[in-house]
């Protein structure tokens, strides 16, 4: 296979998003639009990846490096069109002579098989990715010759009324031999309705230079673009439908599928039951036989088989929940290991902690992990009983088999099998409540008498 490099166009401001952030960094299914494109592009195993961004868009390049650590950046200061944007990448690809694939950063559903098909179709020359649409308005139209080659792409604004009836549209994604690309780009002009340098004009130029442009096609949904937040939500819906189906086909029961939201990378085992209204953020791995009850929010967490999560649980990044453990209502776990069979069933915060197997964490327990400046660790052994409303002031260690009495504030290490109790003595006053009640009732009666 020929060497491939990719250019991702992402210089657009995305003004219709009404956002302070670059359009391609908006997320669907737990991943940025750019991330989806680059993830699909991994299948091409590119030699070089160049992202064309505008000024003040460092974050776009940083995100690109999350997918391709060697990704390079090309800056397009003035937005003079797609052809101009591609020419900004020429310097970064000066030593490359294989096939260049141009992708759009805001077309996230493009799939790896389609990209492979496009590059195979291009051979040593050039191919565009097209699609049939019942509503082709706004797209460039592909004009073919008798042999099925694309001889010209006509932008909607420049098209005749006859050309506008064509339903075969341009996705914008092309594959083209690098030498051919760099030789033709300087020939583009901007004498068109938008006054821009159109990448699409390469097709006519290549044909004139003796390289016919081939056509690869894909379904319209795959090249749906994002211009505003309505389209963003449409892409989200497409992805969620896909992932709900994927998990159900893999043996996950979704009681109300439309209310459960996944990330593209969510991994779930067999015989897991997910009740309504659960959100899986990025980086979640769930084992077999887990029960996830309603209104739980889980991200960056691992849940081992047989565990029970929720209702109303929050698992944050670094939560590692052991086999058969229970994390109940209004319990938050962050960057903590919860051992096999351990239980924290109600109203608890566990952060920067290790909890041993079989330990019971009572309602209202808090690991006080932050002193206002730094985070500290709480280490609780196996088979420990932590009574309700305990504050564990970290750094602190509780040995195996220890008991902590309800309401204690634990500020020192507790040895194994010890009892820790911190309380003031209970002051009991016999009959006090009755006397108080009678005194209050008498005063109320006296007030009423005076008023009448």
Beta bridge partners of 286: 268, 303
Q: Which of 76, 114, 177, 367 binds ligand UD1 (CB under 6 A)?
A: 76
The secondary structure element, H or E, covering residue 336 is: strand 336-338
Distance of alpha carbon 239 from alpha carbon 243, whole angstroms? 6
Task: Report the residue number, 79 or 375, with the smaller CB distance to ligand UD1.
Answer: 79
Q: Which of 105, 287, 358, 387 binds ligand UD1 (CB under 6 A)?
A: 105
Look at residue 150 and give its three-state secondary structure: strand
φ, ψ of residue 81 in degrees (nearest 5): 120, 170
Window contacting ligand UD1 (CB under 6 A); options: 103-111, 283-291, 292-300, 431-439: 103-111
Residues in 120-149 that interact with ligand UD1 by CB under 6 A: 139-140
Window contacting ligand UD1 (CB under 6 A); options: 72-80, 126-134, 277-285, 291-299: 72-80
Q: Using an 8 Å Cβ cutoff, are 311 and 275 in contact?
A: yes
Site track 245-284 with ligand UD1 (rule: CB under 6 A), x = hit: ----------------------------------------
Residues in 34-53 that interact with ligand UD1 by CB under 6 A: 52
Sign (positive/negative) of CA torsion 129, 133, 138, 144?
positive
Distance of alpha carbon 7 from alpha carbon 201, whole angstroms? 17
**Spatial CA neighbour of 329 closest among 293, 366, 372:** 293
Binding flag, residue 74, ligand UD1 (CB under 6 A): no
Which of 39, 149, 346, 376 does the annotation list as catalytic? 346
Q: Which of 155, 204, 222, 352 binds ligand UD1 (CB under 6 A)?
A: 155
Residue 3 carries which DSSP code? -
- Known active-site residue 346: yes
Binding flag, residue 369, ligand UD1 (CB under 6 A): no
Binding flag, residue 184, ligand UD1 (CB under 6 A): no
Binding flag, residue 104, ligand UD1 (CB under 6 A): yes
Tokens of 379: 């280490």
Q: Using an 8 Å Cβ cutoff, are 59 and 51 in contact?
A: no
Q: Which of 4, 6, 7, 11 binds ligand UD1 (CB under 6 A)?
A: 11
Q: Which of 68, 96, 182, 198 binds ligand UD1 (CB under 6 A)?
A: 198
Tokens of 359: 């330990």
Distances from the Cα of 383 to the Cα of 67, 323, 326, 433, angstroms: 43, 15, 14, 40
* Residues designated as active site: 346
> By the criterion CB under 6 A, which residues form the site for ligand UD1?
9-12, 52, 76, 79-82, 84-85, 104-106, 139-140, 153, 155, 169-172, 198-200, 225
């Amino acid at each position: 296979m020929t060497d491939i490099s990719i250019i991702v166009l992402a210089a657009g401001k995305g003004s219709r998003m009404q956002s302070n952030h670059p359009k391609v960094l908006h997320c669907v299914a737990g991943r940025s639009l750019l991330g989806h494109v680059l993830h699909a592009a991994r299948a091409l195993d590119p030699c070089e990846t160049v992202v064309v961004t505008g000024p003040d868009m460092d974050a776009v390049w940083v995100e690109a490096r999350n997918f391709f650590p060697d990704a390079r950046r090309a800056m397009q200061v003035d937005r003079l069109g797609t052809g101009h944007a591609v020419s900004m990448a020429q310097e970064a690809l000066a030593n490359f002579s294989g096939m260049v694939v141009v992708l759009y950063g805001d077309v996230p559903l493009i799939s790896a098989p389609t990209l492979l098909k496009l590059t195979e179709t291009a051979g040593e020359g050039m191919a565009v990715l097209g699609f049939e649409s019942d509503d082709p308005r706004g797209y460039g139209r592909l004009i073919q010759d008798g042999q099925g080659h694309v001889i010209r792409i006509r932008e909607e604004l420049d098209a005749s009324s006859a050309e506008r009836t064509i339903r075969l549209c341009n996705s914008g994604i092309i594959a083209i031999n690098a030498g051919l690309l760099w030789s033709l780009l300087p020939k583009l002009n901007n004498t068109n309705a938008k006054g821009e340098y159109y990448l699409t004009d390469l097709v006519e130029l290549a044909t004139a230079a003796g390289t016919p442009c081939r056509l690869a096609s894909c379904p319209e949904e795959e090249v749906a673009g994002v211009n505003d937040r309505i389209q963003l939500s449409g892409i989200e819906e497409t992805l969620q439908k896909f992932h709900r189906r994927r998990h159900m086909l893999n043996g996950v029961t979704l009681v109300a599928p439309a209310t459960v939201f996944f990330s593209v990378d969510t991994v779930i085992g067999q015989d897991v039951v997910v009740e309504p209204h659960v959100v899986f953020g990025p980086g979640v791995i769930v084992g077999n036989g887990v029960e996830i009850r309603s209104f739980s929010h889980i991200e960056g967490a691992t849940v081992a088989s047989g565990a029970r999560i929720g209702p109303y649980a929050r698992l944050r990044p670094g939560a590692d929940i052991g086999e058969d453990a229970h994390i109940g209502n209004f319990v938050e776990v962050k960057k903590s290991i919860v051992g096999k069979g351990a239980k924290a069933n109600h109203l608890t915060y566990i952060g920067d902690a290790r909890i041993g197997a079989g330990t019971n964490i009572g309602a209202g327990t808090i690991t006080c992990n932050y002193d206002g400046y730094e985070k500290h660790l709480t280490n609780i052994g196996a088979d420990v009983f932590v009574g309700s409303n305990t504050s564990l002031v970290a750094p602190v260690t509780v040995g195996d088999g220890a008991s902590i009495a309800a309401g204690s504030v634990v500020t020192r290490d507790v040895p194994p099998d010890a009892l820790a109790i911190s309380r003031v003595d209970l002051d009991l006053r016999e009959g006090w409540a009755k006397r108080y009640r009678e005194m209050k009732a008498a005063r109320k009666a006296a007030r009423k008498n005076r008023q009448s």
